[in-house]
Structure 1
Amino acid sequence: MRSLEKIKNQSFALKTRYEWEEKAEASLKGKTVESLQTTTYENIVLKPLYTRQDEQSVPEFPGGSDFRRGVYPLGYMKNEWKAAQRITYQTPQELQEKLHQSFDKGQSAISFDVKKVLFEEEKSLVNILAGIYHQYPFAINAKDLQTSFLTEVAGLDGHNQLCGYIGSDPIALFAEEGIISNEFFTEWVKNIQLSNSNFPNLRTILIDSVPYHNGGANAVQELGIAIAVGVYYLEKLQEKGIELEEILTKMIFQFSIGSNYFMEIAKLRAARVLWNRITELYGATEEVRGMVIAAVTSSFTKTVHDPHVNLLRGGNEAFAAIIGGIQYLHVSPYDELTGTTPFSERIARNIQLLLKEEAHLKKVIDPAGGSWYVEALTNQLAEKAWVFFQQIDSSGGILEVLKSSWLQQEITAVYEKRNSDIQTRKQSIVGTNVFANLADAVPQKPLVNEKPYFADGGKIEAILEKRLAEPYEELRRKAKSIEEKLAAKPSVGLICIGELKQYKARLDFMKSFLATGGLEVVESNAISSIETAKQFVSELSTKYVCILGTNDQYETIGHEILAALKAEFPERVFYLAGLPEKEKQDQWINEGIKQFIHLKSNCYKTLSAILSELEVNTNEKTKA
């Protein structure tokens, strides 16, 4: 008991920031605290430590002021977010069955992709929705079929009581398709006007930032674009005589949630700050200035290989969305890229239920509120996004920057930086560019959604849907194709100089490096002489060989081994694991090393070159 009392009464002296920095730098072995700073794709510098000096002035409670802390004073305690899992289906009958099953298992919004097949038979959609449309809100991105969808549901009894959203974002469709259809936009405006009286409680104006996210945009760009699209719709609909307050009650924003956990939380908070500022400038009352948000977990971050890792990605993204304060959420099944199963759909839905019921997120009001880090990040994002929005606005608005391809170029620049970091493995994709599993079956090419929205219109550069893992997935498919033709996996021989403890670190590195492209390793036993190296290489079926060991071994025996091997096996291609000092690199290259493979190597380009050469040689052999 005395020891327990002692622990309870124990206190620690307060430490200053200077003392923390001094202690940190002592463990950094000569580096400064500033070296721990990182710069994001939004060009925001993240500090290693945030203190009370970073404290921001924020609203005392959610549901007021700039809405960063949410649109409801009691958060999810009184207004739970809706589990809006998009139901997949092939036929209307299958959709009807799966919808009813999903609601029995925790679904809380009517959500599915809208297909033309739903309108091919009279009252098909009405029959599907029977018994559920008056119990649950809608969460539908109807895209180019919004008019057809709303026309159908207008025949439902009590249609004026429908709630949730059945929205469409013409500009997002234009960006995806690469066509601007004035005819479609005119029809969309008329549809909004008609639906306002038919569906007083239903939101129909969607601002969808998902296509830009999937094109590689950063959080600043996503926010700036979303605000610019929102402003464009505000102005166009007001020109048609619709009142500002009525337009705002019909709007809903959709965001894709990526893998940078705190950045995504801040993105959602900053979105509400920005929209509050815009609507306040337009003269809207506080009651309609709160942004309603539907979120989807990102397809940009998902992988075809090692698909169960997508469960972790989806869980992380769902967690960020909920902490960020969304109203509707779809969590993509882990195998969505190659075709979902009832099991994967159930697990995706259960991620939300776990966060709601077992993590108790519905019982905590704005857990991120007041965090020095999150608040600082929210403000930085909002400020940078406001500048980006102003750039769009000063260039004539969202349609003009799409027509000029300025926006596409801005997004492409960010994507290329992301792609470069993935190729050089500065950024990791577990199971794809790090910790790849060669025993993993290579699935068929991912499913591609055909999106022929418009027959004609003004051509613009389309913002193509991408995923970060795609370049490596293409390498794995190429390696699989070569394996099928040769009846053996493509491989690289590894000459391991010295004892295991000396070369093991580089051996593990090379195995991981090569596996990301589907290349198997054939490793030697411990090599201590030129003769054993020759014997090993003579038995290899691959022409690609990498020498690995310690830097000291490279200088004592490495040069001699390379010279002997190059003389006896001139057709072989030799690599060296590691990066020698600059003054020694020319010597290695002159002696026959094609490339140094090290931590800063472009993994993708290196493996692509090997596989491309193998593919050419394989094709020549099969033709012969």
Structure 2
Amino acid sequence: MAEFELDLPPEFLTASREDWQAAVERALKGASFERLRSHTYDGLVIEPLYGRERDAPALKARQAGLPWRVVQRVDHPESGEANALLLQDLEGGATGIELVFSSSARARGCGLSADNVERLDKVLDGVLLDLAEFRIDAGYETTAALALFLALAERRGVAPSALKLVGTSDYVGKLALTGVLRNPPSVLRPRLGDLGHFARGHGLDMPVVHCDGRVWHDGGASKAQELAYVFATAIHYLRDLDACGIAAEDLAGMIGFTLAADTDQVGTIAKARAARRMWARLLEASNLPQRPMHLHMQTSWRMMSRRDPWVNLLRTTIASFSAGIGGADSVTALPFSSALGLPDAFARRIARNTQSILLEESNLHRVCDPSAGSGAIEARTSDLAEAAWRLMQDIERGGGIVEALRSGKAQGAIGEVRDARARDIATRRYRITGTSAFPDIHEKPVSVLAARPDDVSEAGQHVELRAPGKGELMRALLDAARKGASLADILVSRKRGEAVTAEAILPHRDAEPFEALRDAADEAKVRPAVFLATLGRLSEFTARATWAKNFFEVGGIEAQGSEQYDDIAAAVAAWKAAGSPLVCLCSSDRTYETLAEEAVKAFREAGAGKVYMAGRPGESERRKALSNAGVETFLYEGCDALALLRAAHEHLGLGPAASRKDA
């Protein structure tokens, strides 16, 4: 094969930043350089160009050459079906399983019904318990579910030390997500310490408590907020475990972390790297031995869409790539149909294969911290870590994370970011492909699994539970599990203290407001439509007609017309034949100057109920003249698309379309 020599101009390789700056200034033609900068929801500045940081050291994360664990979520309510899906996952390349019980707030109306050892045995039938990592998520009863798992392992002759377990107990996260704790932290603290002592005494090298960023992310938090609240939670749990007598050398290993990965590729990589930097700094400040953080990342639930769900494949690929590059120890890629219901075997296989390709074909795990030295990523990492650390310190000064929730301070801060993002989504500055941009109103439905939960045990026996201490409570839970006690039995047998309440930070998906519009349009007896009254030649109206078609179909309103007409009378006649009460003029600014007012009057006189115009009207006098002629609404890039489409729905008799919240 002949060698190919790349012939580049010398100035391409020798150009300095000053040369680039001069070229930019010429291109801007007097405009401000600031327009090339962008800002995150944390107020951090993103520059248009960064230089390489040649001396930047690699962060200590996952070992080079060691693949991250491919974790699959198992949450089917029918035990037999859950078992079949789980076996397919393991046979198809998954190296970790997240068991999501129905008691988890993240089960979203589903979740495992395996509430005793017998039912859990059915879910895990044919599974080698020491083969994969198992994450246990049963919400408030995660510790009891862990006892069921240990009892099953004991029955099968598997020693606790051979298991790779992750406990996801997170009562701070539960307070944030649900707004209520059955017991105050003073009661929950010794239970947590009891579990820590039990794990240490039984050879379980596992995180027993979790700091879950998904709670904050899905509620609308920015990246710095997610990190800050996660680490404020970590400080809270370190104090809990320390107060219960856990040895200093064991503290760090008992805390696990989960962060959300989204389509902001650089931001997600930087967030993972910033988390490891903050963890090392926190251990140093606490005079604790350094130990790498146990970092799991899950692709964002908030970014998933029900409309054109195939786009979720692209979203989860970018997010999984970013999590892996960022150094996550394990990654869950949500199946593309997750927002629609329980994903079927096909959707789960695609989720697994996405990660398999990144690992086995792209070899992303071969290098430790491959983004080290990238100017953009290094700067974003440092900025995120500093912003999150300052916010974490502010939380500490205010009394800690629980007080931040009880006072509403955390909810208020997240609400400000959520509202800012909602404005960007409404105006389509923050685009959601397939939902708020490039919609397909005739998309075919995607199949998901129908599920009927197995019968869940009612509380039937009282369980003698010891007071938490050095593992006494956990041993009592394990003994109860051996004797057939269910999660319900354990729940009602627990003593309760005074409940703690706070405003819940409800999870949401960014696409929900526009999905509600599409739902309302789909449920109409006749598909609502708008007539695109194109003026002038094809070359004059095509761009705006295409834009207007996408604009209205985002709200489920089908675009009609969009043809070249001989004159205004022909356009009016075509509109009458179409029968839509909505009309939108589409053409160039030059054509509007000569035809727009006449066309508007013609459509108004013919009985058009509402007339739009695609494009900005320009100066105020021109806008006034068009409004007087009959244009009610001007549509342009950056307008409040959500509000205007809701108004169109009301005009069409579809009623106000309110955002629908997921369970």
Is the CA contact (8 Å cut-off) linking 1:323 and 1:368 kept in structure 2? yes
2:262 and 2:316 in contact (8 A); partners too: no
| Equivalent-residue separation in structure 2 for 1:587 and 1:448 (angstroms) | 59
Question: Which moves more between the two structures, 420-429 or 465-474?
Answer: 420-429
Partner of 1:578: 615
Confirm whether residue 137 of structure 1 aligns to residue 175 of structure 2.
Answer: no
Q: Contact between 2:217 and 2:260, CA under 8 Å: does it hold in 1?
A: yes
Residue 305 (structure 2) aligns with: 303
Letter in 2 for 1:573: K
Letter in 1 for 2:609: R
Which of 81, 85, 90 is equivalent to 2:72? 85
* Structure 2, unaligned runs of 5 or more: 104-111, 454-487, 657-663
Is contact 2:143-2:167 (8 Å) kept?
Answer: no
Structure 2 letter corresponding to 1:470: E
Paired residue for 2:173? Answer: 172
Q: Which residue of 2 aligns with 1:364?
A: 367
Aligned alpha-carbon RMSD (Å)? 3.0
CA distances 1:491-519 after superposition (whole Å, capped 9, x unpaired): 11111111111111110110010110111
Q: Indicate which of 53, 57, 60 corresponds to 1:70.
A: 60
More displaced 10-residue stretch of structure 1: 291-300 or 123-132: 123-132
One-letter amino acid matched to 1:376: A
Deviation at 1:119, TM superposition (A): 4.5
Match of 1:125, as an amino acid? L
Q: Which runs of 5+ in 1 are unaligned?
A: 62-68, 619-624
Q: Which amino acid aligns with 1:144?
A: Y
For residue 478 of structure 1, the aligned residue among 513, 520, 539 is 520
Structure-2 residue corresponding to 1:396: 399
CA distance in 1, matches of 2:446, 2:263: 23
Alpha-carbon contact 1:153-1:159 (below 8 Å) kept? no
Which digits, 9 at most, give the CA deviation of each residue in 1:513-556, with x for residues without a partner? Answer: 01101111121543454433442343342211111222222221
**Alignment equivalent of 1:125, drawn from 120, 126, 132:** 120
Following superposition, the deviation at residue 261 of structure 1 comes to 0.3
1:245–1:284 contact (8 Å) kept in structure 2: yes
The structural deviation recorded for 1:597 is 0.6
Contact kept, 8 Å, 2:552 with 2:645, in 1: the verdict is: yes
The answer to whether the 8 Å contact 2:117/2:148 transfers is no
1:506 is matched with 544
Q: TM-score, normalised by structure 2?
A: 0.84
Where does residue 622 of structure 1 map in the other structure?
Answer: none
Judge conservation of contact 1:514–1:520 (CA < 8 Å) in 2.
yes
1:448 Cα deviation after fit: 13
Which one of the candidate residues 580, 583, 588 is aligned to 1:542? 580
Corresponding position: 1:335 with 2:337? yes
Q: Is the 8 A contact 2:248 2:288 kept in 1?
A: yes
In structure 2, C-alpha distance between the alignment counterparts of 1:586 and 1:5, rounded to whole Å? 62
> 1:274-303, CA deviations, whole angstroms, 9 ceiling, x for partnerless residues?
1111111111122x2x21101100111111
Q: Pick closer, same or farther for the CA change 1:457–1:525 going to 2, 3 Å.
A: same
SS at match of 1:440: coil
- Counterpart Cα distance in 1 of 2:628 and 2:220: 41
Tell which deviates more after alignment, 301-310 or 14-23.
14-23
Instruction: Name the residue aligned to 2:94.
Output: 107
- Deviations along 1:570-606, one digit per CA (max 9) or x if unpaired, are x621111111113211222222211101112111111
TM-score (ref. length: structure 1): 0.89
Contact 1:150 1:195 in 2 (8 A): no
Q: What is the aligned counterpart of 1:597 among 614, 617, 635?
A: 635
Q: Residue 283 of structure 2: which of 279, 293, 304 is its match?
A: 279
Contact 1:506 1:549 in 2 (8 A): yes
Are 1:96 and 2:96 matched, yes or no? no
Partners of 2:379 and 2:451 in 1: how far apart?
39
CA distance in 2, matches of 1:165, 1:219: 24
| 2:467 alignment counterpart | none
- Percent identical pairs in the alignment equals 29
Residues 1:423 and 1:448: Cα distance change in structure 2 (over 3 Å): farther
Q: Which letter does structure 2 place at the counterpart of 1:532? A: A
Deviation, structure 1 residue 216: 1.0
Query: Is the contact between residue 33 and residue 48 of structure 1 (CA under 8 Å) also seen in structure 2?
Result: no
Q: Which residue pairs with 1:64 in the alignment?
A: none
Task: Show the counterpart of 1:464.
Answer: 506
- Match of 2:587, as an amino acid? G
Work out the CA distance in 2 between the residues paired with 1:435 and 1:135: 44
> Deviation of residue 126 (structure 1)?
4.4
Question: Match of 2:590?
Answer: 552
Q: Which piece of structure 1 moves more, 203-212 or 183-192? A: 183-192
User: Are the equivalent residues in 1 in contact too, given 2:170–2:211 (CA < 8 A)?
Assistant: yes
> Could you tell which deviates more after superposition, 390-399 or 140-149?
140-149
In structure 2, the CA distance between the partners of 1:244 and 1:509, relative to structure 1 (3 Å rule), is: same
